[in-house]
Structure 1
Amino acid sequence: MSKRKTSFAILAAVLVLASVLLWAWRDRIGLFANTEPPSQPEAVSTGEPKEHYDVIVAGTDPEGVAAALSAARSGLSVLLTDGKDRDRLGGLITLGWLNSFDLNFAPTEDGKPSADRELLNKGVFQEWYDQLEGTSIDVVHAASALNRMVSAEPDIDLLMRTRSMKPFMDGTEIAGLEIVDESGVTRTIGANAVIDATQDGDIAALAGVPYTTGREDLGNPEARMAVTLVFKLSGVTDEIWQSFGKREDTGIDKMSAWGFPDAKLYESSNPDKVALRGLNIGRQNDDTLLINAMHLFGIDPLDRQSLEEGMEIGKKEAPRIVDYLKRNFKELSQLEYAGTAPELYVRESRHIRGEYRLTIADVMENRDFWDAIAYGSYDVDIQRLNRQDTGAIMLSPQQYGVPFRSLVPLEVDRLLVVGRSASFDSLPHGSARVVPLGMATGQAAGAAAKLAIERDMSFRELSRSKEAVAELRSRLAEAGVDLKYRSFPKPSYMNHKAYKGLLAAVSMNMTIGGYDNDRWDLDGKASPASFRNMMLRLFLMYPDQFGENPAKAVQTGSGSRVVSLEQASGALCFMAGAEYDKGRATGELLRRGWLKEETVQAVTDQEALTNGEAFMLLRDVLEFHAGVVYE
């Protein structure tokens, strides 16, 4: 090479380095305030992988990146890989285009919202978030930031564009992964530990970890939250963006907009498969918008053909949706359709069974745990299941802990599962599934791998040692994770006399609290329709103990809007297959010991039960007949 070419090469390298440094310091030195970051979304494999690593992290979503960073910063050798032929880091965020974060805010001492609330957990998520734009982020910039973070760690080897991966086993221990790379070569790579950060818990399932799918724990295994295909609009200007905030039904900040609720009136070309809700909008740095609003029903995330069908349906519907939005909302009329995300946004698939399974009661009571390695506070957001369903906000917690035990799967060793497929019941999963909390579990898993290797302990042994978990929490704190449990007022619903019944009812998906935890209507009158729904929940969840037809359970007079104590008792006897004399069902429940005397005494009007009183009846019969206690 000539001296002149060498000089140009050196100068070019210096300019690239200078631009990266200036971008990284833009906020501190006041430059490039409105300039896009360097566009480097693609992630490149670091080279030939080794035959063995301390840790293999399976899955390149943000949760996997957090796990890999945590393990490498602890001094472990790490392979970060994926089996979905991806060319960039960030998965759901950068390829599914879920560009608006569902954030976990720390509670305030008075329990009221505050504009300056800090984020829970912090750690690697905060490190990444601080490099980005705000409540919504540019997906190219997000991928570039993840690349920088991973590239800065010499102990992380990156293997991208892999076609598939599966575990190989040594008895009940996972010994590593068998990976088919982009050229079709099969590589068998050993590891002391594997962290499953795939969206669907794929490695855990293949290794033999038990799990439930969808709403199986609620008696509805085929039911799962709708899948979304995010679509893009181009041509946004500051004037158009500000016009969104001038609507009475829509709010905006610098990067996010939420509202346009009448979008739900869109008439789908296939109502059983696709629908529209109000718009969640995230602004990008290239004058485009990403819109998270399309609901796709009946898509099985564990079936490749079903996913392909969902993508095809969504791609065909997206231009129709955009045409509708342009015609019906003047603020959107000048924008143009600009395509759909490369991947579907899947909310729910597998829920593994771990050493501890997070319950909705844990979330409802804002419980802390001795082995909490992360905290959540996001609303329990249950999206629509089908076209008839409306979705629900089950409740809004203040702060609840996620135990380390929830990352430790049953039956398989040397494996941790992080992110949305960790050991959460389906209802608390509505809150715990969010990416910031998933990244906190990933960071904890990476640190736990180091501790387990150091001490020659299995993850299961670690999860049962209070001393070892205390050391894990200490190391996480040293790494910038905030594990402080805050002080805040006890929620008012916990003071209600029917609270124990409410706990059971929420656990069985019989009632919701909404954003303000005020929709339980415990003192309102129970209706025949709502009580039949309660009987249906019993039938679906516990068919062996409550196996009769729930549609026939509640017998009331024509036009009745209330349920009496005797009618409710008769319905419970009927569902449980217990014979009783007409007008003496309550006495039969008392005689059998299925109903407590104090529960009956607490009923204020035996001719018209309240919802809270009905919940208390159900709770008693569940405990004393079915042996099920929600607490």
Structure 2
Amino acid sequence: MIKRIRYARLTLTLLVLALFAHLIMPVSHVKASEHGCGPSCSHYNVVLIGSEIEGIMLAKAAHDEGLSVLILDPREKPGGEFIQGQMQVLDQPNDNHKHSLVQGEIKKLYDDYHSRKIRSNEQFTRYFNQLIQGIPMRSGITMGKLNINAAKQEKSIQSLTYQAKDGLSYNVQADYWVENTDFAALTSKLRVKRIPGLESAFRGKKPEYMAATLMLKFKQVDWNKLHQEVLNNYPLTNVDKKYGPGTYVDWDYGTGFSNLTSQYKPTAPDLMLRGINTTYLSKGKVIMNALLLYEVDPSNPQSVQAAVAKGKKEAPLILKFLRSHIPGYAKAELDGFPDYLYIRDYNRFETEYVLDYEDVMSSKMYWDNVSIGGYAVDLQGTKRVPKGMNLGKPDRYGLPLRSFELKAYDNVLVAGKNVGADGKAYGSARIMPTTALAAQTIGVILGHELKSKRLKELTPADFKRIDAYMRKDYHIKLS
């Protein structure tokens, strides 16, 4: 009898412990089969499609908060335009009092960039690799079937079948899916409404997109000579008159010289050399964001490859021009090429709230702010309007969570350049540190709130609490 009582007590104890263990088990450890995904399916809290750096900030924040995260990248190599395209000329949003608006994880990059600790592609790559450390990633995947639940008022993605480089097919399920490519690899498959793009600002009838860029790299540049040449022509009114509006050179950056670069005649009508927009790296090496390529389709690998090849073919002619026309470039040489492009703009799809130009210019703030913007409304050109336009410099304004929640779906988020903004507002909202901050904030919110609430269930009262812990724990101010 005593043995039976002891056995019963032991059994009861084990059952209690098992129940307690189940209750405290992190969401990331729940088996896929418990979510109805099937024995061959893996479940994650967050699945990120694409490896652009903005969404990586969301992945890192969610992972650091204890959520399970998977990155599936349709590109052959990780890093997107930041690493493969070497878009490493870092623009900075600021308010009208010249206060920087760069916050959060991305500020570490900017601080090291300004102190010259990070300038080379190798250094940027190390920084990127640190962000994804511990997060599983598969590059070169092929998107397959999406299993969508349309039973409710808002649809939801239940699972995705994809093919990996090993030729095998895999199934994955997630609580949240994040569009983080520069060609809408996920959202373009969901039959949602496209936000009118640049054609709405340029009064066109067909969809238009800002030009892409092939970053140009040079060595043996005499930066001191370039800098001194500008100083010799001060004040700035004289510099602008001689070299073009906005011409400026300090020990790190060089912009402008449009009066000179406008004299360059490209070999094809879908190319343009704009002002030099250059960062000085070190020891005579620079990287230049200046060669525009029009009508590149980032969803078409052949279009991207053709544009890269065209830019590489044009580069020696640009070098010859720079040697003859730009101070400090007389002995310059090309210093290799990136494998990919800087894609500024592509299809964006309706979010719960779509930012417009008035929102940006009126410094509008929101109860669900996840980032603060302040960059100029810079609309780069298209083939039809090659020089683009600048529509003014806003003061600080808010970007709401709703501008990153895909409309009509309750578990699809967008990151980076997929932000819900109209053709004009996008000219400002697209800047990397602005959308990177939003992505990090969303990742943190998922980590804090997912066990009790869906994102679309959050209220103004919840955001007062969210704002408090973002300030306290992350030193991020969202209001």
Tell me the TM-score normalised to structure 1 length: 0.62
- State the AA in 1 paired with 2:44: Y
Aligned-partner Cα distance in 2 for 1:223–1:162: 28
In the TM superposition, residue 242 of structure 1 has moved relative to its aligned partner by 4.3
Q: RMSD across aligned C-alpha pairs, in angstroms?
A: 2.5
Segment of structure 1 superposing worse, 299-308 or 63-72: 299-308
SS in 2 for 1:228: strand
1:474 equivalent to 2:474? Answer: no
Q: Which residue of 2 aligns with 1:174?
A: 157
1:395 Cα deviation after fit = 0.9
Whether 1:233 aligns to 2:218 is: yes
Distance 1:448 1:178, change over 3 A: farther
For residues 111-156 of structure 1, the C-alpha deviation after alignment (integer angstroms, 9 at most, x for no partner) is: xx4xxx3x325111113323334599333211211212332xx4x2
Pair 104,85 (structure 1): closer, same or farther in 2 beyond 3 Å: same
SS in 2 for 1:178: strand
Q: Secondary structure at the match of 2:304?
A: helix
- Deviation per residue, 1:358-404 (Å, 9 max, x gap): 01000111111111110100000011122654221101001110011
Q: Which residue of 193, 202, 208 corresponds with 1:223?
A: 208
- Shift in alpha-carbon separation, 1:286–1:97, aligned structure 2, 3 A: farther
CA contact (8 A) 1:85 1:182 kept: no
Bigger RCO of structures 1 and 2 (CA < 8 A, at least 6 apart):
2
Q: CA separation of 1:189/1:235 partners in 2, compared to 1, >3 Å: closer, same or farther?
A: same
In structure 1, give the amino acid aligned to 2:90.
F
Of the candidates 100, 120, 143, which is equivalent to residue 89 of structure 2? 100
Asked if 1:432 is matched to 2:429, the reply is yes
1:186-585 → structure 2 map (5 Å cutoff) = 186-212=169-195, 214-218=197-201, 220=204, 221-236=206-221, 239-240=224-225, 242-243=227-228, 245-246=230-231, 248=233, 249=239, 250-261=247-258, 262-270=260-268, 272-285=269-282, 287-386=284-383, 389-457=386-454, 459-462=455-458, 465-485=459-479
Does 1:124 find its partner at 2:127?
no
- Residues 236 and 477 of structure 1: CA distance in aligned 2, closer, same or farther (over 3 Å): same
CA distance, structure 1, for counterparts of residue 83 and residue 53 of structure 2: 9
Report the equivalent of 2:21. Answer: none
Give the % identical residues.
24
Closer, same or farther in 2 for the Cα pair 1:478/1:389, shift >3 Å? same
Structure 2 residue matching 1:278: 3-state secondary structure: coil
Name the aligned partner's letter for residue 474 of structure 2.
Answer: G
Distance of aligned partners of 1:361 and 1:416 in 2 relative to their CA distance in 1, 3 Å threshold: same
User: Cα gap change, 1:121/1:289 in structure 2, threshold over 3 Å: closer, same or farther?
Assistant: closer
Secondary structure, in 3 states, of the residue corresponding to 1:200? coil
**Residue 54 (1) aligns with residue 48 (2):** no
CA spacing shift, 1:50–1:150, aligned 2, 3 Å:
farther
**Counterparts in 2 of 1:387 and 1:456: CA distance versus 1, 3 Å:** closer
SS of equivalent to 1:289:
strand
Most deviating of 372-381 and 73-82: 73-82
Retained in 1: the 8 A contact 2:226–2:327?
no
Q: 3-state SS of the aligned residue for 1:352?
A: coil
Q: Deviations over 1:508-542 (max 9, x none)?
A: xxxxxxxxxxxxxxxxxxxxxxxxxxxxxxxxxxx
User: What's the CA shift for 1:62?
Assistant: 1.4
How far apart are the structure 2 equivalents of 1:413 and 1:275? Answer: 42
In 2 relative to 1, CA 184–470 (structure 1 residues): closer, same or farther, beyond 3 Å?
farther
In the alignment, the residues of structure 2 paired with residue 444 and residue 283 of structure 1 have an alpha-carbon distance, to the nearest angstrom, of 32
Instruction: For 2:363 and 2:131, locate their aligned partners in 1 and report how far apart those are by CA, in whole Å.
Output: 33
Task: Tell me the alpha carbon deviations over residues 443-499 of structure 1, each in whole angstroms, 9 at most, x when there is no partner.
Answer: 122123234521142x3333xx223333333343334253254xxxxxxxxxxxxxx
Look up the SS of the partner of 1:212 in the other structure: coil
Which residue in 2 is equivalent to 1:491? none
Match of 1:147 in 2: 129
Aligned to 1:69: 60
Q: Where does residue 242 of structure 2 map in the other structure?
A: none
Pair 186,106 (structure 1): closer, same or farther in 2 beyond 3 Å: same
Structure 1's unaligned 5+ residue stretches are 1-48, 486-631
Question: Does the 8 Å contact 2:52/2:82 carry over to 1?
Answer: yes
TM alignment of 1:25-36, pairs within 5 A? none
Give the superposition deviation at 1:265.
1.1
**What amino acid sits opposite 2:126 in the alignment?**
S
Change (3 A) 1:149 1:225: closer
Report if the CA contact (8 A) 1:125-1:439 is conserved: yes
Equivalent residue letter for 2:62: A
CA change 1:475–1:185 in 2 (3 A) is: farther
CA–CA distance in structure 2, aligned partners of residues 443 and 388 of structure 1: 35
Instruction: Return the letter of the residue paired with 2:213.
Output: T
Change (3 A) 1:388 1:247: farther
Q: 2 CA distance for matches of 1:330 and 1:170?
A: 58
Higher mean alpha-carbon deviation, 245-254 vs 142-151, is at 245-254
- Distance, in Å, in 2 between the alignment partners of 1:292 and 1:51 is 41
8 Å CA contact retained: 2:160, 2:171? yes
Alpha-carbon spacing, 1:129–1:175, altered in 2? closer, same or farther (3 Å) = farther
Contact 1:373–1:401, Cα closer than 8 Å, also in 2? yes
Report the residue type matching 2:214 in the other structure. L
Counterpart CA distance in 2 for 1:373 and 1:320 is: 44
Structure 2: runs of 5 or more not aligned: 1-39, 150-154, 234-238, 240-246
Partner of 1:202, secondary structure, is coil
8 Å CA contact retained: 2:197, 2:422: no
Per-residue CA deviations over 1:578-601 (Å, capped at 9, x if unaligned) read xxxxxxxxxxxxxxxxxxxxxxxx
Secondary structure, counterpart of 2:272 in structure 1: strand
Please give the alpha-carbon distance, in whole angstroms, between the structure 1 residues aligned to 2:49 and 2:229.
40
Question: 1:525 maps to what in 2?
Answer: none
- In structure 2, how many angstroms separate the alpha carbons of the residues matched to 1:298 and 1:148? 34
CA distance in structure 2 between the aligned counterparts of 1:244 and 1:204, rounded to whole angstroms: 49
User: Between Structure 1 and Structure 2, how many residues are aligned?
Assistant: 419
Contact 1:58 1:80 in 2 (8 A): yes
* TM superposition shift of 1:357: 0.4
